[in-house]
Structure 1
Amino acid sequence: MDSSKREKNAGETGFALGRHMTVEFYDCDARILADAGKVEQIFLDAARESGATVIGSNFHEFQPQGVSGVVVISESHFAVHAWPEHDFAAVDLFTCGDKVDFDIAIRVIAGGLKSGQWIISSLMNRGIVGTNGVERRVPVIEGGDARYELSWESKFEQSRAHAISAAIDVYNCEVPQFASPEWQREFALRFVSRLWLTPVGEVRCDTGNPGVPAFEQQLKSGLLSWRLDLEHKTVYIDLFAAHYFDPREAAEFAIGEFRGRYYRLQPFVRQ
């Protein structure tokens, strides 16, 4: 190919049926991520302010928490799945036209979710059209070394871990229900039984600070401890075990027991 031909090809602009961007929003406000109504309004605002034409929306609030939703626009869609327990939202922005401004959409979403950091994880042209119709491009996939487990049990097994721990914070709890030490002792037994853990001895209570009582339950293979902040209606739980338990199951059981509005979760595989 001569130089003039190469220069012409280099300057050519292709045509695609759509533009697809995925964005990771970190350090968001968990209270907002747990509220389907608020998330929906943020995405409706983002669609309209970015120049899209909104056709409709459908958002679902999972139990005990989590939000998924989509705003259908005439140009395609904005979609989200939110994990309040990790202060994280995964967002898809798809447009079939050139009038939707993704930069504005991202700015509105980041502000609405109070995101401390966001990262564009991919930007793709979808349905690239050539002289013979839509081209069958090879999809982009992760390399062989980029492996990510989708369950904590698989992560635990693959990493040959010796233990697992989890920090669980449950917010906006019903204070009268869990204020008494007697209720806390019963909670500990229900909690460890649910996770197939074995308690050793009795629950120890530290009520030196009446506003923030603390409790501890020794386990055959670890330790369960938790602290109550009665003023702020929050429970802080730390669980360590020398064999596997499901951290999400632990968090979902805890939010049900304390009747909280939402929770945050930090699991750790211990090697």
Structure 2
Amino acid sequence: MARTPKIFRVGNRAPMAEDTPETRPRDRRIPERDRLPGRPLQCTRDRRPAPEIARRALVLTLTRSALAVVAWWTVLAPGTVTAAADVATAARVVLAVLADQRVDGVDAGDIEVAVVDGVATLRGRVASDEGRGAAEAAARGVEGVRAVRNELVVAPGGAVPDLGTDELLARAVVEAFQVDAVLAGAPIAVTVEGGVVRLTGDVADVVAAARASRVARQVVGVRAVRNALRSRRAGPDGAVPGRATVQPGAQER
């Protein structure tokens, strides 16, 4: 004969739950290794219903999963990709600006380019208003540039002087590459005609190519840098084998 569960009342308190498998307390015995010496076996009771325990476990699992997703998205946020693209875009802006002969002035090689979310900012000094406008136009023509903030300052009297022959300029550019921490040893061929430098060869990436244009443009007497360097993967140590050389030949305009 089945035993009928009993319900007890104490004063005005609500009746206790029936003694069912869902509400029956479960004994949790303390493992033998966790017992204190000389003390009897102890038990703890979990008086929460089994469905409540399962619900709390599910909530905890979902919470941990949500936190893991948030952490993953924070590390791999879209802004990280955008920043990398902006660096490459800034390098291409440098290549375009320094290739234009109208961007004149002895400080043209020091023009700073910063790109944030496709907005390029130009800072530095040029010798004329024409050079200032030419730099902005060159930056606008680069793929990935949505807008240009032109903060270039016109400094009259800073025109590029003519200090020697094209051969001397080419050798000066090669020497500048050889002492540069990034470009030393890179297989870059240098030709010069009318103060305009042309670079051919291989470098690690577009950032290294932009650095080559900047280093060449900083040589006194150089009026523009036409950069035809190819980007390729660098070796295990990050260096590109080879060395810069002076190549005879006419400069393409």
User: For the superposition of Structure 1 and Structure 2, which TM-score range results when normalised by the shorter chain?
Assistant: under 0.3
Instruction: Please identify which structure carries the higher strand content.
Output: 1
What's the TM-score once normalised by structure 2's chain length? 0.25
What's the TM-score once normalised by structure 1's chain length? 0.23
* Structure having the higher Rg: 2
Instruction: Please identify which structure carries the higher helix content.
Output: 2
Q: Higher RCO, 1 or 2 (CA under 8 Å, sep at least 6)?
A: 1
